[in-house]
Amino acid sequence: MSARLSPGRTIAAHAILIAWTLVALFPVFVIVINSFKSRKAIFADPLALPLPGNFDWVGYETVLKQGDFFLYFQNSLIVTVASLFFVLLFGAMAAFALSEYRFRGNTLMGLYLALGIMIPIRLGTVAILEMMVASGLVNTLTALILVYTAQGLPLAVFILAEFMKSVSDDLKNAGRIDGLSEYRIFFSLVLPLVRPAMATVAVFTMIPIWNDLWFPLILAPAEETKTVTLGAQVFIGQFVTNWNAVLAALSLAIVPVLVLYLIFSRQLIRGITAGAVK
């Protein structure tokens, strides 16, 4: 991108970006403001801000009292963080092998691993459920972690392999001549250099896992393994929906994922990578 865009184009670009930001943030905004309002106020004027006249904590009170929300949060966090850890670890290792070593079937293996990007894992739900039943993993968090790790790996391998190809061969070879093991080369030379890519993959992987309703509902619907998105469903009934509670639960669910996002986005700054190789 040239730094010297004409002012007209700069303004147009910003206008488009701001418009898109507003569109993307609007539903979140509506959820958050309505979670602080009384039931009547939500229906009377959904777009009104929570002011002293219609302000109400009732949604949050319900969420914190009814149902075991701290447990749900804990479950969601365990599943997301553990899946993320495994996706990044195994994804990076597979990507390193694919980009660094020449072996028979290297390209085919890469394509096979990337195939998962195009085929939704949900098509295999029945088979997955049968497998989980057979291995006695139904209603455990392990079941979810395994499924999400599988779901996240294809994209992780694909993106990281591309980035690892760009890491200087000389640097890895210098490590080999200095007697570093392949594991040291991977963990202390290559991984720090692909940190921005790791952060990107982490963000892409984390959000679908955190938001998923499908697999928790099918594989782990028990009270003690419920995730936040599944937990919030108790307030949605066939005849009556407790909107205050649903909106409060969703608002709360945004917070942890936002914190994780902030952590990863800081990694996107390249920092110490400059100056390794010219």
Partner 1 sequence: MGALELKNVTKAFGTTEVIKGVDLTVNDGEFCVFVGPSGCGKSTLLRIIAGLEDATAGDILLDGKRVNDVAPAKRELAMVFQSYALYPHLTVRDNMGLALKQAGQSRATIQAATDKAAAMLSLEPLMDRRPAELSGGQRQRVAIGRAIVRTPKLFLFDEPLSNLDAALRVATRIEIARLHRDLKATMIYVTHDQVEAMTLADRIVVLRAGRVEQVGSPMELYNNPANTFVAGFIGSPQMNFLDAAALGFAPGQVGIRPEHLEISQTAGAIPAEVSHVEKLGGETLVYARSPEHGLLTVRLFGEHHYQVAEPVWLTLQYARAFQFAPDGKRRS
Q: Return the bridge partners of 37, or none.
A: 55
| DSSP string over 148-174 | HHHHHHHHHHHHHHHHHHTS-HHHHHH
The span from the CA of 245 to the CA of 95, in Å, is 43
* 3-state SS, residue 190: helix
42 touches 34 (CB < 8 A) = yes
Q: How far is the CB of 96 from partner 1 (least distance, A)?
A: 17
By CB under 8 A, residue 174 contacts partner 1: yes
113 touches 154 (CB < 8 A) = yes
User: Binding residue for partner 1 (CB under 8 A) from 179, 237, 240, 262?
Assistant: 179
The span from the CA of 189 to the CA of 182, in Å, is 10
Q: How far is the CB of 172 from partner 1 (least distance, A)?
A: 8
Map residues 49-88 to x or -, x wherever contact with partner 1 holds by CB under 8 A: ----------------------------------------
User: Binding residue for partner 1 (CB under 8 A) from 124, 192, 196, 256?
Assistant: 192
User: Binding residue for partner 1 (CB under 8 A) from 173, 208, 236, 266?
Assistant: 173
The span from the CA of 74 to the CA of 110, in Å, is 35
Q: How far is the CB of 170 from partner 1 (least distance, A)?
A: 4
By CB under 8 A, residue 104 contacts partner 1: no
Q: Which is nearer to partner 1, 125 or 168 (CB)?
A: 168
| Footprint on residues 21-50 left by partner 1 (CB under 8 A) | none
Sign of torsion over alpha carbons 35, 37, 39, 40:
negative
Q: Which is nearer to partner 1, 121 or 174 (CB)?
A: 174
Q: Which residues bind partner 1 (CB under 8 A)?
A: 168, 170-171, 173-180, 188-189, 192-193, 272-278
